[in-house]
């Protein structure tokens, strides 16, 4: 099935443009791609550095026919699709750090940002944004204290085709969305858990408005929440938070 793809030399944010198109009636899996972004962003309003000519910056329009309780799984689903796309097109061992970071060799190579809108007179709209450091040179990457930024070229030693990664991400997102719409939430989570980068690691999670949780990372549950097994045996289920390794 052909996917409408809107291409731009530069945008402030592919997510913003995709949301504008979705609110104007764009069908599911419409894609917006920019060679660079002037105001790319990640979770919690963090900036995503988007230099031209080297990275993949894309957003997909989703009209998920799922129950409200499954909406949080879209972030995991799109991260799973991104990891699979990178693995299949580059042969790199891409894995996922909950909820939305893609790691190669424990370095961050890509991120996912899902944003939703629920119109008063219509079905939910979700926008899945993907940023991948594809052929970005190490000197052009931002500094990060934990899970340092990297790129596909830095990890593999050779350049990669952005279009190939985009095509595979759309394909895998379409597949997993259909699985979720068919009642396959557990199947989505199981596939995500199989690529969990931090399973069994000691972590601490900072929650907005909640206590810091320390323990062993135990994967994601059927609702997409992060499971953390504390030292006292308590199992915490984290809906939102920042994850760091205990080192």
Query: Which pLDDT tens digit goes with each residue over 140-194?
Result: 887 777 789 999 999 999 999 999 999 999 999 999 999 999 999 999 999 999 9
> Under 8 Å CB-to-CB from 224, ≥6 apart: which residues?
72, 73, 75, 76, 99, 189
In angstroms, how far is CA 178 from the centroid of its own chain?
18
Please give the C-alpha separations between residue 219 and each of 44, 85, 222, 239, in angstroms, as whole numbers: 22, 21, 10, 13
Sheet containing 202-206, strands listed edge to edge, beginning at the edge strand earlier in sequence: 235-238, 226-229, 213-220, 202-206, 242-245
The pLDDT of residue 42: 53
**Which residues of 63-212 form beta strands (DSSP E)?**
94-97, 101-104, 107-117, 125-132, 202-206
The pLDDT of residue 66: 83
pTM listed for this prediction = 0.91
Whole-number mean pLDDT of the chain? 89
Query: Which pLDDT tens digit goes with each residue over 25-82?
Result: 999 999 999 998 776 555 545 555 566 688 999 999 999 888 777 888 998 999 999 9
The first and second tokens of residue 17, run together, are 């443009």
């Amino acid at each position: 099935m052909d996917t409408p793809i809107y291409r731009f030399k530069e945008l402030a944010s592919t997510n913003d443009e995709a949301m504008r198109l979705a609110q104007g009636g764009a069908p599911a899996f419409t894609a917006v791609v920019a060679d660079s972004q002037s105001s790319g962003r990640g979770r919690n309003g963090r900036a995503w550095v988007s230099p031209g000519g080297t990275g993949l910056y894309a957003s997909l329009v989703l009209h998920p026919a799922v129950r409200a309780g499954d909406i949080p799984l879209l972030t995991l689903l799109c991260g799973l699709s991104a990891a699979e796309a990178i693995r299949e097109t580059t042969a790199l061992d891409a894995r996922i750090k909950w909820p939305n970071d893609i790691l190669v060799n424990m370095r961050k190579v890509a991120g996912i940002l899902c944003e939703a809108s629920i119109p008063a007179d219509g079905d939910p709209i979700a926008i899945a944004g993907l940023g991948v450091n594809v052929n970005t040179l190490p000197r052009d990457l931002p500094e990060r204290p934990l899970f340092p930024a990297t790129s596909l070229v830095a990890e593999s030693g050779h350049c990669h085709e952005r279009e190939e990664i985009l095509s595979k991400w759309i394909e895998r997102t379409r597949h997993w969305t259909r699985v979720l719409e068919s009642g396959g939430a557990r199947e989505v989570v199981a596939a995500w858990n199989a690529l969990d980068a931090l399973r069994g690691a000691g972590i601490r999670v900072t929650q907005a408005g909640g206590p810091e949780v320390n323990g062993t990372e135990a994967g994601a549950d059927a609702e997409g929440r992060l499971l953390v097994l504390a030292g006292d045996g308590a199992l915490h289920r984290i809906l939102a938070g920042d994850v760091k390794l205990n080192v």
